[in-house]
Amino acid sequence: MIRFLWNTLVVALLLVLLLAGISCSNTPTLGPTFPPGYFAHTDNVNGFSIDYPGGWRNPPLPPPFDRMVLLSVGPSEPCGGFDAHFYVYTDRFRPSQTLDDYSEYDLGIVKRSYREFSELEKQTTTISGLTAIKVEYEYRLSDFTKVREITIYVGRGSTVWKLDFIAAASCWDQYVTTVDTIVNRFKISQ
């Protein structure tokens, strides 16, 4: 009788384990959909991750930009005589400075530095679950090159992340979808 109960218990336990194994797959689950052909870049020191197209290059930057820019990637071929680039920077807010104050200060530098500056659009949006300010503008970089740039400011605590894409104005439309994908894949991890 004890042997019968023992065997029944063993069979019941095996049945439970078998059923649990059927309902719990050993297959790893995938995170958010990863765009095909994109590389993941994670910067643990500065607390962000971002994905960019695999065909884009990540060239080394000369000083002092190598200390200021956390990531610089761009298409492998120039368009409109200009090398388009996507940059990520971080900075610190000054005491009592808001995200809007920071964006106005930063854009003021661009306005004073380049000719024919024209702000095309400014909007508040959400990036990585945080309020962000997105500004699109054009200016003349040289007598021969007019560029379009989009800058997105994302702040948390005392840190502001600045996402920036610049391209020849004549080539802008071919990059819009890719840049939107890159921006939407930006995550703050701190």
Which residue range is the domain that position 131 belongs to?
37-188
pTM to 2 decimals?
0.78
Q: Is residue 8 part of a domain?
A: no
Q: Is residue 166 part of a domain?
A: yes
Q: Is residue 114 part of a domain?
A: yes
Total domain count, the chain: 1
The pLDDT tens digits of the residues spanning 88-122 come to: 999 998 888 999 999 999 999 999 999 999 999 99
CA-nearest of 173, 151, 172 to 161 is 151
Q: Is residue 1 part of a domain?
A: no
The pLDDT tens digits of the residues spanning 3-46 come to: 433 333 333 333 322 233 323 222 222 334 556 788 899 999 88
Q: Is residue 4 part of a domain?
A: no
Q: Is residue 174 part of a domain?
A: yes
CATH number at residue 130: 3.40.1000.10
In angstroms, the CA 160 to CA 178 distance is 23
The pLDDT tens digits of the residues spanning 50-84 come to: 999 988 988 888 888 777 889 999 998 899 888 99
Facing residues of 124 across strands? 133
Q: Is residue 25 part of a domain?
A: no
